[in-house]
Each structure stands twice: as structure tokens, then as C-alpha cells.
Amino acid sequence: MTDANTRIDETVKNNDVVLFMKGTKQMPQCGFSSRVAGVLNYMGVEFMDVNVLADDEIRQGIKDYSDWPTIPQLYVKGEFVGGCDIVTEMTLSGELDALFEQNGVGFSKEAADKIREANA
């Protein structure tokens, strides 16, 4: 394993929810990262954010690690969930709620319901 791959692997396995994104959860630096971080923040999910813009090795390494070409990338309990479109679809369908519930990840069901109501 490369150094970047090892660091990514340890980050993903040692944190329940990880978002590899452009920017930070307080200051996203692209619309897609902002959308996913916004959903997680609104739902009250505790997550670790990894700013890929701060480290070129991680920026490329996460794409290799997941075999997924775009950022952001969401991981829950060590498993790759997807990028912005997948997370959006899962939020609107209720699949993200189910994933969090199955993995013991705390979130606001009320906030998730409000997102779905606003997008109905």
C-alpha cells in the first residue's frame, strides 16, 4: 500500500462517517461537496471531513482507493457509499436513513424528512 492509500484506509476504517471533499464541512469549495456536506450537517450526522485540496496525494489516492473518479466521496463504517448524485438520491428515497440506522450512525430523522418534503 502506498502512503496515501494507507492514510485513506486508516481514516475510512477509524471513523464511522467520512466525507472526502473539496474544502471543509464549514467551508466547502465546490457545489457537489457543499451539497453532500450540507445534507450531513443538516441531518446532524457527526462526520470527519477530509479536504482533498490540501493534499494532492489524497486527492488522487481517494479516486484510486474507491475506483471512483469524482469527489466528494462518502464512506460509512468503512464502506464506500457514493458521490453527490448517489447521496442525493439515497437521501430523497430514504435509503441514507436506512444505511445510518443499520450502522448505528446518529442522525435527525426529522431533518431527513424535511429534506424529502422540500424536494417532493
Residue 72, phi then psi, degrees to nearest 5: -80, 165
The verdict on pTM exceeding 0.75 is yes
Instruction: Report the chain (120 residues): mean pLDDT per 10 consecutive residues.
Output: 89 98 97 97 98 96 96 98 97 98 97 95
Report d(CA 90, CA 96) in Å as an integer. 5
What are the E-state strand segments in 10-72? 17-21, 48-51
Residues flagged as binding site for [2Fe-2S] cluster: 30
Q: Could you tell me the domains of the chain?
A: 3-113 (3.40.30.10)
Q: Are 9 and 1 in contact (CB under 8 A)?
A: yes
- The answer to whether the beta carbons of residues 87 and 36 sit under 8 Å apart is yes
Which residues carry a binding-site annotation? Answer: 30
